[in-house]
């Protein structure tokens, strides 16, 4: 089974944004069985509408879509915490994502973001962080690792594992994942060499296939992983990376 750990959908069809229906079409084309979905970053801060759209999508396609929330500490700590509670308690999402690059904050800022992180931990959710060179100071792997170390019982997804640009921060992400058992790397928008290095250093259980759809072509990403992993890992390890790891993380493994 193939599960994409990084997909965005939006009710606002503009630019590269895609709807749930278009995502499903791309999944079918790519042979992807399930996808973890969160909202498409919006500079107009339409987070409430985006999260509600994710909820509707998951209700309509529970066998294909895994829901994840989004919140922005820059909109105010109380508003961000309220969003976390709605995502976890009302929508039943698996967790909540924060993007310090998109929303311009340091992910471990004690006043801006940490109260929101603590709310996610309190709610028992997974936490996902954008981690890339588009905002290396705000989203550096060591900042995410600091949070993983503070909350060792909370599972943390490091999305892009320090990629997005070149050169990337993947080596730091790998080292941080070696130090923290609860830190997992989503290999979307990062060099295939970095993904392979992560697999070799950490083993297959900590690496997750992701495409970052619609910012990348899902079917091309699947083909890239197929070529990348051929002859490098066992069939079971490939199955783990391509979907098994994420299903275990959200409690849906068979």
* pLDDT on residue 43: 62
Structure tokens at 225: 């992983």
pLDDT in tens, the chain (254 residues): 999 999 999 998 878 899 999 999 999 999 999 999 999 977 667 899 999 999 999 999 999 999 999 999 999 999 999 999 999 999 999 999 999 998 999 999 999 999 999 999 999 999 999 999 999 999 999 999 999 999 999 999 999 999 988 789 999 999 999 999 999 999 999 999 999 999 999 999 999 999 999 999 999 999 999 999 999 999 999 999 999 999 999 998 76
pTM to 2 decimal places: 0.96
* pLDDT on residue 13: 81
* pLDDT on residue 253: 76
Q: Which DSSP state fits 74?
A: G
CA distance 190 to 194: 7
Residue 253 CB coordination number (10 Å): 13
Of 22, 26, 18, the closest CA to residue 2 belongs to: 26
CA distance 168 to 172: 9
Backbone angles phi, psi at 68, to 5 degrees: -140, 135
Exposure of 197 by Cβ count < 10 A (0-12 exposed, 13-18 middle, 19+ buried)? middle
* pLDDT on residue 167: 84
Number of continuous H segments (helices) and E segments (strands) in the chain: 11, 9
* pLDDT on residue 245: 98
Report the b/e string of 57-80 with b at 16+ CB within 10 A. Answer: bbeebeebbbbbbbbbbbeebebb
Q: What angle, rounded to 10 degrees, do the helices at 20-30 and 218-229 form?
A: 30
């Amino acid at each position: 089974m193939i599960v994409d750990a990084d997909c965005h959908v939006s009710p606002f069809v503009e630019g590269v944004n895609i709807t749930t229906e278009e995502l499903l079409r791309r999944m079918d084309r790519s042979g992807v069985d399930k996808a973890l979905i969160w909202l498409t970053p919006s500079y107009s801060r339409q987070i409430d509408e985006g999260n509600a759209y994710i909820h509707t999508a998951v209700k309509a396609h529970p066998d294909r879509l895994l829901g994840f929330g989004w919140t922005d500490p820059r909109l105010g700590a109380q508003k961000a915490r309220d969003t976390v509670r709605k995502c976890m308690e009302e929508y039943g999402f698996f967790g909540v994502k924060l993007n310090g690059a998109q929303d311009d904050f340091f992910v471990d800022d004690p006043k801006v973001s940490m109260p929101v992180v603590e709310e996610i931990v309190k709610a028992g959710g997974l936490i996902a962080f954008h981690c890339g060179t588009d905002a290396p100071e705000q989203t550096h792997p060591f900042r995410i690792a600091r949070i993983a170390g503070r909350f060792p019982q909370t599972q943390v997804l490091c999305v892009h594992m320090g990629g997005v640009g070149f050169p990337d921060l993947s080596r730091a992400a790998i080292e941080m994942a070696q130090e923290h058992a609860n830190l997992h790397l989503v290999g979307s928008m990062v060099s295939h060499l970095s993904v392979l290095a992560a697999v070799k250093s950490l083993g297959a259980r900590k690496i997750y296939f992701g495409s970052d759809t619609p910012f990348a072509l899902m079917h091309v990403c699947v083909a890239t992983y197929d070529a990348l992993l051929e002859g490098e890992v066992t069939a079971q390890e490939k199955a783990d990376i391509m979907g098994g790891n994420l299903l275990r993380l959200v409690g849906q493994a068979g």
